[in-house]
Amino acid sequence: MNKIILFNPRSANSKPRIPNSILSIAASLEGKYDYLIVDGNLEKNPLQKIIDVFQTGEYKYFGITVMPGPQLKQAIPISYEIKRKFKDVIIIWGGYFPSNQPEVVLQSGYVDFIINGPGDFAFPKLMDVLEKKEKPDFINNLIYLNKDKIIINAKDELYDQDNLPALPYDKLNNFYPLKYYLGKTFLGTKTIAYHSSVGCPFSCSFCGIVPIYNARWKGRSAQKIYNDIKYLKDAYDGNAIEFHDNNFFVSEKRAVEFSKLIKNEKMIWWGEGRIDTVNNFKDSSLELMREAGCRMIFFGAESGSDEVLKQMNKGGTQTKGQIKQFAARLKQFDIIPEYSFVLGLPGSSENTVMKQINEDINFIREIKEINPDTEIIIYIYSPVPTTGSELFKQASNKGFKFPEKLEDWINPHWEKFDLRKNPLTPWLNKSMVNKIKNFETVLNGYYPTVSDIKLSKLQREIIKLVSLTRYKTKIYAIPYEIKFLQKYWLRYRQPEIEGFYLE
Ligand code: B12
Ligand code: SF4
């Protein structure tokens, strides 16, 4: 039987996280196919390693996980090179990027198949079919080309997460010592990255989850999560947890049950949730969560305008008033709210776009006054192809287009677009982008983030002092002195490039 290489292209500049995407695929192959994991985060020259392995002649399949942004920098040239050198190797991409951009990926000529969304069943089935030289037309969650025509097969319902095979942590440990993946963060010295659910029940029109999961969500049970975490704690000394779920807190019952189980383990943890959902949690639940180690929760606050929240199809009941009230409520429980905002949505005129940016900036300042511990993350709106979403229609009507060739995604402009830092959106002019970025610099200077564990107390005070006049007078333009400190002295981190809260 032919063997498989599973590749995780480099995604972070500093220490990596447990590669859960590729590890789930590995789990689905256990006992059926032999595989090798290559992690671009831990290899100096992954291409050479992959070439050496294919040269043995034992391997025929090359599975790669790809999220937008820096992973493309290895995924594209390495796929191209492997196809050029080994014509018979079959290349399969999975993950958020190919699921959201299938045309450009398959038209490249060097990717043969895409797994659209969960690959837990689709991937081993595809291997069976290819080994038996059968047709792949009945495999759900598969996208492929048939004589230049893109075939998008039906999607499976979401799988019961408790019935999926356990992740092969020990096997990963044979390829790369697991300790390399347990990084030092503000949560703990050996932080476990864990993914406990798939999808999200909402359909915000700017979110890349929506086209793949269509407002569906399924979570693993609290007991099962606890068992896995306990294993990683006992076997590998993990002492903190980052939940990588899109929406960890969908179920209050599950969050409470998990809190009860994890409480005695004395582990600090973090996850992502929605303001309107968690605001419905009882006081006793929030109290228990904090006691059980929940120190910070990431929320998509998105905007301080009810109209924009509507434009984003934020769904649920999130409002401007609620965002403020909730920041105050969490303060009571000593849980830090980490609020992310998306600025720079399309508007009817330049004035409307700029006005909205200014209003959001003022709103963020208000939040900081209500609860100064609130961590603020600012993104510039980057469209995702959510079919039928009003926001994507507005973006397209304003002249926005995705690249037409796969290679174009790795030119520096598009990479920045992916990082939601420098969009190529026609409705934003330079002064708008500068306004957002300069405000962010001054804000981060005046309120250095607690998750930046590199900053000493004194350094925090100094950078705060340097930023004080600008913050108070609202003169954000050209904040070179703060940038200088952040970049060259304090080496201020960008979580979206370097990974969450890494040392
Ligand atoms: C961890 C993570 C990161 C880490 C990566 C750390 C590391 N491992 O080294 C960091 C912080 C660096 C990061 C950064 C970014 N990320 Co990120 N990230 C995630 C996160 C939270 C978890 C990914 C994960 O492990 N999932 C768990 C696995 C089990 O799920 P999965 O990936 O979906 O895998 C399943 C299927 O997709 C499929 N599959 C996946 N890979 C493969 C491969 C093969 C061969 C097959 C067959 C199937 C398959 O099968 C799997 C099992 O069913 C996701 C959100 C999420 N909850 O998934 C966002 C997410 C993928 N990131 C996203 C983005 C946009 C980014 C950034 C580009 C921008 C940003 N500002 O965040 C940056 C830059 C990326 C980079 N540096 O390359 C978006 C993508 C959305 C989109 N538009 O497509 C997501 C969905 C977050 C979001 N809600 O917006 N990220
Ligand atoms: S709530 Fe969050 S994860 Fe869910 S659709 Fe909206 S932005 Fe995406």
| pLDDT tens digit sequence for 356-398 | 999 999 999 999 999 999 999 999 888 776 666 677 888 888 8
User: How many structural domains compose the chain?
Assistant: 2
| Span 449-470, average pLDDT | 83
Residues 412 and 322 in one domain: yes
**Within a domain: residue 442?**
no
The pLDDT value given to residue 398: 83
State whether the beta carbon of 209 lies less than 6 angstroms from ligand 1: yes
pLDDT tens track for 151-171 = 999 999 999 999 999 999 999
Same domain for 94 and 206, yes or no, is no
pLDDT for res 460: 85
Atom of ligand 2 nearest to the CA of 201: 4
Residue 110 lies in a domain: yes
CA of 496 from ligand 1 middle (Å) equals 11
Residues 250 and 142 in one domain: no
Q: What is the mean pLDDT of residues 182-198?
A: 95
Residue nearest to atom 6 of ligand 2 (CA): 204
pLDDT band at 321 (very low <50, low <70, confident <90, very high): very high
Do 219 and 71 belong together in one domain? no
The residue whose C-alpha atom lies closest to atom 3 belonging to ligand 2 is 246
Which candidate, 109, 44, 101, 14, places its Cα nearest to that of 418?
101
The residue to mutate among 67, 90, 241, 496, having the most atoms of ligand 1 within 8 angstroms of its beta carbon, is: 67
Sort 157 into a burial class: Cβ within 10 Å, 0-12 / 13-18 / 19+: exposed
Inter-residue contact 480 to 445 (CB < 8 Å): no
- Calculate mean pLDDT across residues 34-40: 98
Same domain flag for 82 and 131: yes
Mean pLDDT score of the chain, rounded to an integer?
Answer: 91
User: What are the residues whose beta carbons fall under 8 Å from the beta carbon of 250, sequence distance 6 or more?
Assistant: 197, 200, 201, 217, 219, 277
Q: What confidence tier does 111 reach under pLDDT thresholds 50, 70, 90?
A: very high
pLDDT of 397: 84
Q: What share of the chain is helix, strand, coil (3-state, %, to 5)?
A: 45, 15, 40
Q: How far is the CA of 321 from the centre of ligand 2 (A)?
A: 19
What is the pLDDT averaged over residues 204-222?
Answer: 92
Q: Say if ligand 1 is within 6 A of residue 111 CB.
A: no
Confidence band for 457, pLDDT divided at 50, 70 and 90: confident
More confident residue, 240 or 454: 240
| 210 CB within 6 A, ligand 2 | yes
Residues 270 and 325 in one domain: yes
Q: Which residue intervals of 320-389 are DSSP H helices?
A: 320-333, 350-370
Tokens at residue 338, please?
A: 């980490």
Whole-number pLDDT of residue 502: 37
What pLDDT sits at residue 1? Answer: 86
pLDDT at 207: 85
Asked if the structure places residue 499 within a domain, the reply is no
CATH (domain of 266) = 3.80.30.20
**Can you read off the two tokens belonging to residue 416?**
């920045």
108, 114 Cβ separation under 8 angstroms: no
What is the band of 419 on the pLDDT scale with cuts at 50, 70, 90? low
Residue whose CA is at the smallest distance from ligand 1 atom 4: 499
- In a domain, residue 462? The reply is no
Average pLDDT rounded to a whole number, residues 197-215: 91
The finding on whether 209 has its CB within 6 A of some atom of ligand 2 is yes
pLDDT level of residue 501 (50, 70, 90 thresholds): very low
396: CA distance to ligand 2 center in Å?
Answer: 21
Residue 22 in any domain: the answer is yes
Residue 30 in this model has a pLDDT that exceeds 70:
yes
Average pLDDT over residues 210-222: 95
CATH code, 90: 3.40.50.2300
Domain boundary among 113, 132, 152: 152
Ramachandran class of 414: left when φ > 0, alpha when ψ lies in -120 to 50, beta otherwise: alpha
Domain end (from 428, 445, 474): 428
Whether 496 shows a pLDDT value over 60: the answer reads: no
Same domain, 100 and 41: yes
* pLDDT tens digits along 273-296: 999 999 999 999 999 999 999 999
350-370 and 430-446 helices, crossing angle to 10° = 10
H or E element in which residue 379 lies: strand 375-380
Token readout for 203 is 């359909």
Residue 235 within any structural domain of the chain:
yes
Instruction: Mark whether 141 and 189 lie in a shared domain.
Output: no
**In the prediction, which pLDDT does 252 show?**
98
Residues 374 and 247 placed together within one structural domain of the fold: yes
For a pLDDT cut of 70, what percent of the chain falls above it? 93
Q: Please, which pLDDT band fits residue 423 given cuts at 50, 70 and 90? A: low
Rounded to an integer, the average pLDDT of 495-500 is 49
Q: In which domain, by residue range, is 18 found?
A: 3-152
If asked whether residues 133 and 225 sit together in one domain, one would say no
Residue 373 phi/psi, 5-degree rounding, is: -75, -15
Q: Give the count of beta carbons closer than 10 Å to the beta carbon of residue 235.
A: 12
* Per-residue pLDDT at 503: 33
Q: What is the mean pLDDT of residues 304-325?
A: 88
Q: Whose CA is nearest to atom 31 of ligand 1?
A: 21
Q: What percent of the chain has pLDDT over 90?
A: 75
Where does a domain end: 408, 428, 448? 428
Residue 464 belongs to some domain of the structure: no
Is residue 272 over pLDDT 70? yes
pLDDT of amino acid 388 = 64
From the CA of 309, the nearest ligand is 2
Give the least confident one: 24-33, 83-92, 373-382.
Answer: 373-382
Higher pLDDT, 382 or 324: 324
* Ligand nearest to the CA of residue 198, numbered in listed order: 1
Q: Which of 64-78, 94-108, 475-489 has the lowest mean pLDDT?
A: 475-489
- Average pLDDT of the residues in 344-364: 94
Ligand 1 and 74: CB distance under 6 A: no
User: What's the confidence (pLDDT) of residue 235?
Assistant: 98
Q: Is the CB of 382 under 6 A from ligand 2?
A: no
Residues 126 and 196 grouped into a single domain:
no
pLDDT of residue 426: 84
Residue 20 alpha carbon to ligand 1 centre in Å: 9
Cα(428) to centroid(ligand 2), Å = 24
Nearest ligand 2 atom to the CA of 302 is 7
In a shared domain, residues 10 and 60: yes
Ligand 2 site, residue 202, Cβ cutoff 6 A: yes
**pLDDT attached to residue 329:** 97
